[in-house]
Amino acid sequence: MAKKKKMKITKGEKLLYTMTFFAFLGSLLIQVFCGASVGHLNMSVEMLKYNIDSQEKKNESLVMQVNELTAFDKVKDVVADMGLAYNNENIIVVSE
């Protein structure tokens, strides 16, 4: 029976294994930190979408208030409160 020779790991192989290990470890760390950054960005995007939606609702409310205040009946009431009279003869209709 022949004895098996022990294979020694050379310095080059040790260096290669070490570099492979650190490259694998580095790639894992990069994935974790990039995942955290993406999660933070997604949260920021959702916060901005919420702010945009709330601002759009405020804008719609203000548009409705402007439409109510500029209605002819409302203007007529304000004019009457100021003591002015509605005179149909002073109205000029502009047509295209």
- Total domains in the chain come to 1
Q: Is 59 inside any structural domain?
A: no
Look over the chain and give the mean of its residue pLDDT values, rounded to a whole number. 90
Mean pLDDT, residues 23-36 taken together:
95
* Residues found in the chain: 96
- Residue 23 CA to residue 27 CA, distance in Å, equals 6
Tokens representing 82? Answer: 């100021």
Q: How confident is the model at residue 7 (pLDDT cuts 50, 70, 90)?
A: confident
More confident residue, 23 or 81: 23
Per-residue 3-state assignment (H helix, E strand, C coil) for 45-63 = HHHHHHHHHHHHHHHHHHH
Residues spanned by the domain of 30: 10-37
Q: Is 68 inside any structural domain?
A: no
Q: Is 5 inside any structural domain?
A: no
Q: What does pTM read for this prediction?
A: 0.54
Q: Is 20 inside any structural domain?
A: yes
Q: Is 66 inside any structural domain?
A: no
